[in-house]
Amino acid sequence: MSSLIKRWIPTLLFTVLPGLVVLAGYLLPSNQTLVDFRHELVEWAVIVAAFAFLLGVFNILRVHGRQVFRRRQGWFYSLVLLFAMVAAATPPTTQAILEVVRPDSPVHKTLEDATSTLFNYTISPLGASLAALLVFTLTLAAFRLLRTRRSAGTVFFLLVVALVLLGTTPLIGLEWLADVRDWIVNVPGMAGMRGLLLGVALGTIITALRVFLTIERPYSES
Amino acid sequence: MDAGVIPGTFLLLLSLLVLLVVLILRGRKGPIPSVRPLPAFQDIRTEAGYAAESGGAVHIALGNGGLYGEDSVTSLAGLQVVESLADIAVSYGAPPIITVGDPTLLPLAQDVLRRAYERNGAAESYDPGKVRFVAPSPVAYAAGAANLVATGKVTANVTTGAFGHEVSLLADAGARRDLPQLAAAADPAAIGALYPTTDRLAVGEELYAAGAQMTDERRYLTSLVAQDILRLILILLMLGSAVIGFMGR
What does pTM read for this prediction? Answer: 0.87
pLDDT in tens, B81-92: 898 888 888 888
- Listed in order, strand segments (DSSP E) in chain A are none
What is d(CA B11, CA B131) in angstroms, rounded to the nearest whole number? 39
Measured between CB atoms, does B73 come within 8 Å of chain A?
Answer: yes
Pick from B103, B139, B231: CB nearest A131: B139
CB B143 within 8 A of CB B168: no
What pLDDT does A18 receive? 85
- Percent of all residues in chain A with a pLDDT value above 90, rounded to a whole number: 22
- Put simply, whether A59 touches B (Cβ < 8 Å) is yes
CA distance B177 to B143: 16
Is A43 a residue whose pLDDT tops 70?
A: yes
Least confident of A18-27, A195-204, B171-180: A18-27
Instruction: Give the pLDDT mean for B29-53.
Output: 76
Assign residue B93 a region: left if phi > 0, alpha if psi is -120 to 50, beta otherwise? Answer: left
Using a CB–CB cutoff of 8 Å, tell me whether B8 touches chain A.
no
Is residue A22 predicted with pLDDT exceeding 60? yes
pLDDT of residue A25: 83
For each of the domains in chain B, give its residue range(s) and CATH number, in order of start. Answer: 1-32+217-249 (no CATH), 36-215 (3.40.50)
Lowest mean pLDDT among A25-34, A49-58, B1-10, B229-238: B1-10
State the best of B172, B213, B225, B239 to mutate against chain A, taking most chain A CBs within 10 Å. Answer: B172
Closest listed residue to residue B125, CA positions, set B88, B149, B91, B81: B91
ipTM: 0.84
Q: What is the pLDDT of residues B193-217, one digit of tens each?
A: 999 888 889 998 888 888 888 877 7
Confidence of residue B185 (pLDDT cuts 50, 70, 90): very high
Q: Mean pLDDT over residues A138-145, rounded?
A: 89
In the chain, the amino acid numbered B144 is G
In chain A, the residue whose alpha carbon lies closest to the alpha carbon of B234 is A198
Q: Residue B27: pLDDT band by 50, 70, 90 thresholds?
A: low
